[in-house]
Amino acid sequence: MTEDPRGFGIYIHWPFCKAKCPYCDFNSHVRERIEEEVWRDSYRKELAHYAAMVPGRTVSSIFFGGGTPSLMNPATAEAVIDAVARHWRVANDIEVTLEANPTSVEAEKLRDFRRAGINRVSLGIQALDDADLKFLGRQHNQSEGLNALALAANTFERFTFDLIYARPGQTIEKWRAELRRALGFAADHISLYQLTIETGTVFEQAYARGDFVLPEEDVQAELYEMTAAILGDAGMADYEISNYAKPGSESRHNLTYWRYGDYVGIGPGAHGRLTIGGSKFATRQHRAPERWLEMVADGGHATRQHERVDVAARISELTMMGLRLAEGIPLARFEAEAGRPFADCLDGAALRRLGEGGFLEVQEGRLIATAAGRQRLDAVLGDLLG
């Protein structure tokens, strides 16, 4: 079959953390004991199930996410990478990313992960300030974070790290100084997220009680604009709303998501999108770790959802993901997913209204959210998709 230029990814979810961060709404759990050989075998079984479903593809990326996958034994990562290579072809330049926390214990394992086949690491630094790290519930301090960055730079040709901004009490001046300092440690990619209050998190309760306040909306907007300007001056374009990279150093795995390509999701709570026989299918694995293990042991997989994505939902998903990207969405991609002309895919009146407002534009055969549109993307999507 003809390979999809958007790539074909494999996502592996490791659901365990040392502690639950108060801002996090991901499917993560704290356990005193983990039988890692059982997990290793279960990942291999679920991979085999999906390999039989979508054979003959070429894997362009593998992503170990979580949770905190740097807590796993590097031998587990190696076993998963080997299993992927047994079931599918792998690209010569395959990107294999591991999310890692920068505690001293986990950082010491980075070289072992490199030997296991990981060739890109994503470090959850989150802040370069000890007081803010404590507020965010992180298990590392500033010194450990900087040491981990130095080790990553000496171990991997490609690495990235995350920072969270728009934190309580954070001024324009403070963030400018922290961001410039962070750039001194960055290589070719960095992820910068505004702090948001997610449903079901500890922060949701604390925020509702008034334990802390976030910067005003106009300050948050100025922080966002300043961030893009400083990174742009450093040669790192905002290719996605929260991600900045030098040309050619974008996250290949995440680009597959944002370009609405296919990917397999393995592990508790993992989602996938797969094109089979011309139809797009949404998959989702059982969220609870122990139940996931039981289902895999019984049936070889723990899929709770395997549903055809109808045309309306395909258009909606493609739009929500693709408008996050500075490159926008090729109009031909709408037509390929929907099987109809672009003019029949989206609300024409909403497109005109958002275009006149300076939030969307059609340029060189692509639908693109402008800088103003991407800054207000939730509102833009609400108007466009209803």
Does 341 map to a domain? Answer: yes
Does 201 map to a domain? Answer: yes
- The CATH number that applies at residue 158 is 3.20.20.70
Check: pTM over 0.85? Answer yes or no: yes
Segment (H or E) for 75? helix 74-87
Q: Is residue 147 domain-shared with residue 81, that is, in the same domain?
A: yes
The pairing of beta strand 120-126 with beta strand 158-165: parallel
Does 295 map to a domain? Answer: no
CA distance 361 to 130: 43
Whether the CB-CB separation of 375 and 242 falls below 8 Å is answered with: no
How many independent structural domains does the chain possess? 2
Buried b (16+ CB within 10 A) or exposed e, 275-293: beeeebbbbbbbbebeebb
Cα dihedral sign, 269-281-265-382: negative
Note the pLDDT of residue 1: 57
* Position 3 confidence tier, pLDDT thresholds 50, 70, 90: confident
Q: Which two tokens stand for residue 10?
A: 């494999």
Which residue type does 290 have?
A: E
Does 304 map to a domain? Answer: no
Q: Is the pLDDT of residue 2 over 80?
A: no
Share of the chain above pLDDT 90, in %: 92
Q: Is residue 167 domain-shared with residue 104, that is, in the same domain?
A: yes
Share of the chain above pLDDT 70, in %: 100
Residue-wise pLDDT for 337-382, tens only, equals 999 999 999 999 999 999 999 999 999 999 999 999 999 999 999 9
Note the pLDDT of residue 108: 86
Q: Is the pLDDT of residue 29 over 70?
A: yes
DSSP structure string for 219-285: HHHHHHHHHHHHHHHTT-EEEETTEEE-TT-S-HHHHHHHTT-EEEEESTT-EEEEEETTEEEEEEE
- The last residue of one of the domains, among 241, 256, 271, is 256
Does 350 map to a domain? Answer: yes
Does 288 map to a domain? Answer: no
Q: Is residue 180 domain-shared with residue 244, that is, in the same domain?
A: yes
Note the pLDDT of residue 340: 95
* Position 27 confidence tier, pLDDT thresholds 50, 70, 90: confident
DSSP class of residue 364 equals T
Residue-wise pLDDT for 189-242, tens only, equals 999 999 999 999 999 999 999 999 999 999 999 999 999 999 999 999 999 999
Q: Is residue 173 domain-shared with residue 110, that is, in the same domain?
A: yes
* Greatest pairwise CA separation for the chain in angstroms: 58
Nearest-10 crossing angle of helices 172-183, 217-233: 30
Q: Give the pLDDT mean for 148-172.
A: 95
Note the pLDDT of residue 144: 93
Residue-wise pLDDT for 276-323, tens only, equals 999 999 999 999 999 999 999 999 999 999 999 999 999 999 999 999
Does 331 map to a domain? Answer: yes
Q: Is the pLDDT of residue 99 over 70?
A: yes
Q: Give the pLDDT mean for 45-63.
A: 98
Does 166 map to a domain? Answer: yes
CA distance 383 to 277: 33
CA distance 124 to 155: 17
Domain of residue 335, residue span: 311-386
Q: Is residue 31 domain-shared with residue 118, that is, in the same domain?
A: yes
Note the pLDDT of residue 243: 98
Note the pLDDT of residue 106: 85
* Position 143 confidence tier, pLDDT thresholds 50, 70, 90: very high
Note the pLDDT of residue 107: 81
Whether the CB-CB separation of 185 and 154 falls below 8 Å is answered with: no
Cα dihedral sign, 270-334-192-64: positive
- The last residue of one of the domains, among 240, 256, 272, is 256
- The CATH number that applies at residue 333 is 1.10.10.920
Q: Which two tokens stand for residue 194?
A: 């505004």
- The burial of 14, by beta-carbon neighbours within 10 Å (0-12 exposed, 13-18 middle, 19 or more buried), is given as buried
Q: Is residue 252 domain-shared with residue 351, that is, in the same domain?
A: no
